[in-house]
Structure 1
């Protein structure tokens, strides 16, 4: 049975962020993830995890000015120093929170920069991040994102991540496979998972259209969860969706799994 982690950026927005740990634990979740921990002291977050018997399974590298619309800076040649400083901050938090992996958002392709220079920058930054995170015992994963929600995002397909893994040449670089994004970009989700199982280390879910909880759209998640069991996936499944109503009202789908 898959292990489900509540994404505290998306779920339980009915309460303040630090109160979402208690809400997730009360619902039966054993793991949590969220986009960014950096607005809080590591000790605050570690206390929430310990108090509510939760495992931190993922957070992202710093990704630029999120409020201004930035969605990562790893492909920006003029932001390499900022990216590398962000790796150090991510290591600090991952270590304090016993978080085993960190996700890198490649970013929206910068205007006026050739695709070759963007790719070279991304390779250089991923080499740096994979090496330094690996030395700290933290896995680096990279996520393709659909072109509808984030037009211009630099990575859209798992094949691109596979190519990056080969070019970076590190044994500490893997794929975060978000089934919502992949349904939009490619579909054929079971075969897509099978093709990429050797590099998948984290899965995220939401239904389509709407990015709401499983059961609200076109994806047959009951089948896919069974398929993940069948092929032996032992990682976490992050619930990164926008509740159609309140978080608790949309939890019927997961009760059989927690």
Structure 2
């Protein structure tokens, strides 16, 4: 397995995104992800990544950052036109940065119409970006009340209905633990649809403690993708990176 640092949460002591890339590079990471990298010029990001021979592998869409606003809108019926305007913008930015994975956020919605909108938008997005690995991620209702996709089994059903070869599941151990408790049991049900893993400790989303059994299961199942730390450090980021050795 390969490890990755989510720079939207890790290395907050370093400052902004460019400074966090520096900190991650010095800590030995060669891959990072950013939830919403749209605020910095792509060339500046690429230049800083190149300094450490580092790759930005994953980002969220649509832009911009959801601070104070909607947390995506792929499942929001009234915003379908907006999703289809903004997705190409996100795709262009991802291509400029060399990003190979993009997480499509469902947004806050509920009901049959929202589900149908989500399926239609995911199928459309997959057709627009056949060479991009697109991801959907169940997010727990405590962290994001009202978020449409908050169930792993429903996520698999949606993947089956969309039936796009470039659409798969993002498995976040923090959200799995918040929803069901035992992350290994959740993985046993849905791991065959997962192409990207994020980790964090529940319930406070700090360092991912007690993940050894989960890492063992990933290895046993032959998972060869990235394991990304996406959590809020309880102190200095570098003091809480024991999971990196455990995951490799």
What is the DSSP-based 3-state SS (H/G/I as helix, E as strand, rest coil) of the residue aligned with 2:201?
coil
Q: Residues of 1 paired with 2:208 and 2:133: CA distance?
A: 28
Q: Residues of 2 paired with 1:139 and 1:166: CA distance?
A: 16
Equivalence for 1:125: 121
Q: After alignment, is 157-166 or 236-245 more displaced?
A: 157-166
Q: Residues of 2 paired with 1:253 and 1:186: CA distance?
A: 22
What pairs with 1:75-154 in structure 2 (closer than 5 Å)?
Answer: 75-109=75-109, 115-134=111-130, 137-154=131-148
Q: Residues of 1 paired with 2:186 and 2:246: CA distance?
A: 25
Q: Cα–Cα, structure 1 residues 63 and 108, in superposed 2: closer, same or farther, change >3 Å?
A: farther
Give the TM-score normalised by the residue count of structure 1: 0.90
Q: Residues of 2 paired with 1:49 and 1:83: CA distance?
A: 29
The answer to whether the 8 A contact 1:63-1:73 is kept is no
Cα drift, residue 257 of structure 1: 5.2
Count of residues in correspondence between the two structures: 247
The answer to whether the 8 A contact 1:36-1:59 is kept is yes
Question: Where do 4+ consecutive residues of structure 1 move more than 4 Å?
Answer: 255-258
What pairs with 1:4-43 in structure 2 (closer than 5 Å)?
Answer: 4-14=3-13, 15-43=15-43
Q: Cα–Cα, structure 1 residues 10 and 201, in superposed 2: closer, same or farther, change >3 Å?
A: same
Give the TM-score normalised by the residue count of structure 2: 0.93
Equivalence for 2:175: 181
Of 227, 245, 253, the match for 2:235: 245
Q: After alignment, is 56-65 or 77-86 more displaced?
A: 56-65
Q: Residues of 2 paired with 1:211 and 1:6: CA distance?
A: 15
Q: Cα–Cα, structure 1 residues 77 and 49, in superposed 2: closer, same or farther, change >3 Å?
A: same
Equivalence for 1:226: 216
Alignment gaps of 5+ in structure 2: none
Of 187, 195, 207, the match for 1:213: 207
Q: Quick check: 1:235 aligned with 2:236?
A: no
Equivalence for 1:73: 73
What is the DSSP-based 3-state SS (H/G/I as helix, E as strand, rest coil) of the residue aligned with 1:198?
helix
Give the root-mean-square deviation of aligned CA atoms.
1.7
CA offsets per residue over residues 70-101 of structure 1, 9 Å max, x none? Answer: 21111111211221122112211221222111
